[in-house]
Amino acid sequence: MAYVSNQGIGIHYTVEGKGPPLVLQHGLGLSLEAWHQTGYVDALRHDYQLILIDARGHGASSRPHDPDAYRLALRAGDVVAVLDDLNIEKAHFLGYSMGGWIGWGLAKYASERFHSLIIGGSCPYGNAPQGVSFVELFRAGMDAFLAAMKPMFGKRYTPELEAMGLANDLEALAASMSVNEQIDFETLLPTVTVPCLLFGGEVDPFYAGAEACSKRMPNAVFVSLPGLDHIEALNRTDLVLPHIREFLVQVG
Rg of the chain over CA atoms, in angstroms?
17
Whether the pLDDT of residue 182 is over 90: the answer is no
CA 11, 17, 18, 22 dihedral sign is negative
pLDDT at 127 (0 to 100): 57
- Domain count of the fold of the chain: 1
Domain of 19, in residue numbers: 2-251
pLDDT at 129 (0 to 100): 58
pLDDT digits (tens, 9 = 90+) for 194-228: 999 999 999 999 999 999 999 999 999 999 999 99
End-to-end CA distance of the chain, in Å? 30
pLDDT digits (tens, 9 = 90+) for 10-39: 999 999 999 999 999 999 999 999 999 999
Evaluate whether 95 touches 25 at the Cβ level (below 8 Å): yes
Instruction: State how far the Cα of 115 lies from the Cα of 194, in Å rounded to an integer.
Output: 7
pLDDT above 70: percentage of residues in the chain: 97
CATH of the domain at 237: 3.40.50.1820
Between 159-166 and 142-153, two packed helices, what is the crossing angle to 10 degrees?
150
pLDDT above 90: percentage of residues in the chain: 91
Instruction: Give 128's pLDDT tier (boundaries 50, 70, 90).
Output: low
Q: Classify 20 as helix, strand or coil.
A: coil
Cα angle 108, 109, 110 (rounded to 5 degrees) comes to 110
pTM above 0.85, yes or no: yes
pLDDT at 132 (0 to 100): 61
The per-residue DSSP string of 129-177 comes to -TT--HHHHHHT-HHHHHHHHHHHHGGG--HHHHHHHHT--HHHHHHHT
pLDDT at 181 (0 to 100): 87
Instruction: Point out which residues pair with 48 in neighbouring strands.
Output: none
